[in-house]
Amino acid sequence: MCGFIGIFGKDDVAADIYISLLNIQHRGQDAAGIVTFSNRFNLKKGDGLVRDVFKKKNFSYLKGNIGIGHVRYPTIGRGTSTDAQPFLSNVPYGIALAHNGNVINFYSLKEELEKDRLRVLNSSSDAELILNVLADEIFNQLPFSVEGLYRAVEEVYLKLKGSYSVVAFIKDKGMLAFRDPNGIKPIIYGVKGDSFAVTSEDVVLHTLGYKVVRDVLPGEVIFVDMDRKIHHKRLREEKPYPCIFEYVYFARPDSVIDGISVYEARLNLGKELSKRVQEKSLDIDLIVPVPDTSRPAAVALSEELGIKYREGLMKNRYIGRTFIMPYQEEREESVRMKLSPVKEELLGKKVMLVDDSIVRGNTSKEIIQLVREAGAKEVHFATSSPPLRYPCYYGIDMQTRNDFIAMDKSIEEVRKNIGADSLTYQSMEGLIRAVSCNSDRNFCTACFNGNYPVPISEVDLKRIEIDRASK
Ligand code: SF4
């Protein structure tokens, strides 16, 4: 899971890209990069948070009115600095590219590309692979035309499997954006006068003063030529499978993705969760969110149940999100650094903690322990999503099939393992009702029920699991 912004503006765009990356930092904390174009590509990328990668001096050479920025969360690949995006290709014309998602046939396609086309990829990032496939296909369609570009992207769709929301700039031709045929990852564009911006979450557009035009549709290409004319064509009309976990956990609550408010979806998750809690005869004094993602769900749950809502856990804002950290040691170390209990609220109380999900259970266990140590009489646990049981191959690094606590355990066994007095999960139906806001929508729910919208071959699956396990 990553985030990106592409801007075709009037003046230098690096500062706007920098601000945008700060606004989508939650989508990736591993690496960041900006490329601008001013007769040549000017690139700066590196490991770490946006504020650590870019120094004031970098902006003296990040010149140009066209640029792309990216924050990286490692999915495929080693996660080293060579995997940071954007990537550049010299041929044809010169292309810069960044993406969000995960190409699931990365390893087989990379081997094919290196063997048949005598290329070498210098990173283990699927963005470099997408760039090379796209560059090849644009080359095959020369001389350049918009229709030729559409044909090139159609070929890309035939080759790449998985999720990919892509932004690219082709020197002297224009800015290009496209979304995989199932629309798994978000991508939205807006305009300000005749400036154009395309990004992962609409909050970025609002911050920059752009008017949101719309989400890029699954299987659609948007192309802005050098005269700033916007062309678009839907190349594939397959069943959409946008990621439901964006609404549960990943996206900012103030974002609207594919027409659904993330905040509203999270409130609905709390309302739906209240039905599950009411099925049990629990005596609860306080509803306490595990900050920050679950806050709207906890507010709605408290309203529905008529039980007091309190902030019983305080978050150190300057520690990164634990789930997003790629390595287990970092995750374990950071829970206590990240959260501290408000003893005055918790002492002697029967508390229900509300979180968005339980992955491995270690984090939940540690939080429950924290709250007990702060003097809570009972600690109940509720999650606004159903049990996570299957890995995501489309962009969230949920490790291998064996890492999910709910994979081979009953709910009672999970409860015992995390040390809660009771454990309440969201139902699958409740999740879908909540996120769809009762409209007729379809989502990817594979991490909950194993129904993968884009099938993955056993060979590719094994390669991804080996790669993840080796981290
Ligand atoms: S498997 Fe889960 S996290 Fe991955 S895209 Fe599907 S819903 Fe989202």
Distance in angstroms (rounded) separating the CA atoms of residues 471 and 462: 14
Of residues 326 and 244, which shows the higher confidence score?
A: 244
For 276, the token pair is: 């599950």
Note the pLDDT tens digit of each residue in 206-235.
999 999 999 999 999 999 999 999 999 999
**Ligand 1 pocket residue status of 87, Cβ below 6 Å:** no
Distance in angstroms (rounded) separating the CA atoms of residues 349 and 122: 56
Cβ burial, residue 55 (10 Å; 0-12/13-18/19+): exposed
**Ligand 1 pocket residue status of 394, Cβ below 6 Å:** yes
2 is catalytic: yes
For 212, the token pair is: 């949101």
Say whether pLDDT at 33 is over 70: yes
Distance in angstroms (rounded) separating the CA atoms of residues 126 and 75: 9
Mean pLDDT of the chain: 92
Residue 238: its pLDDT value, please? 95
**Ligand 1 pocket residue status of 445, Cβ below 6 Å:** yes
Give the side-chain half-sphere CA count within 13 A for 342: 15
pTM check: above 0.85: yes
Distance in angstroms (rounded) separating the CA atoms of residues 278 and 453: 33
Note the pLDDT tens digit of each residue in 310-324.
999 999 877 655 555
- Mutate which of 244, 400, 454 for ligand 1? The one with the most ligand atoms within 8 Å of its CB, which is 244
Is 127 within 8 Å of 84 (Cβ atoms)? no
Nearest CA to ligand 1 atom 5: 243
186 pLDDT band, cuts 50/70/90, is: very high
Cα dihedral 342, 345, 348, 349 sign? negative
Residue percentage of the chain with pLDDT more than 90: 80
In eight-state DSSP terms, residue 40 is S
Residue percentage of the chain with pLDDT more than 70: 93
**Ligand 1 pocket residue status of 97, Cβ below 6 Å:** no
Note the pLDDT tens digit of each residue in 349-361.
999 999 999 998 9
Residue 325: its pLDDT value, please? 57
**Ligand 1 pocket residue status of 385, Cβ below 6 Å:** no
C-alpha gyration radius of the chain:
22
Helical H segments across 91-244, by residue range: 106-116, 126-140, 146-159, 203-207
Say whether pLDDT at 75 is over 80: no
- Mutate which of 385, 392, 431, 445 for ligand 1? The one with the most ligand atoms within 8 Å of its CB, which is 392
Distance in angstroms (rounded) separating the CA atoms of residues 244 and 114: 35
28 Cα–ligand 1 center, Å: 16
Q: Percentages helix, strand, coil for the chain, rounded to the nearest 5?
A: 35, 25, 40
290 Cα–ligand 1 center, Å: 22
Say whether pLDDT at 305 is over 90: yes
In terms of Cα–Cα distance, which of 95, 85, 90, 64 is closest to 168? 95
SS3 assignment, position 288 = strand
Is 132 within 8 Å of 160 (Cβ atoms)? no
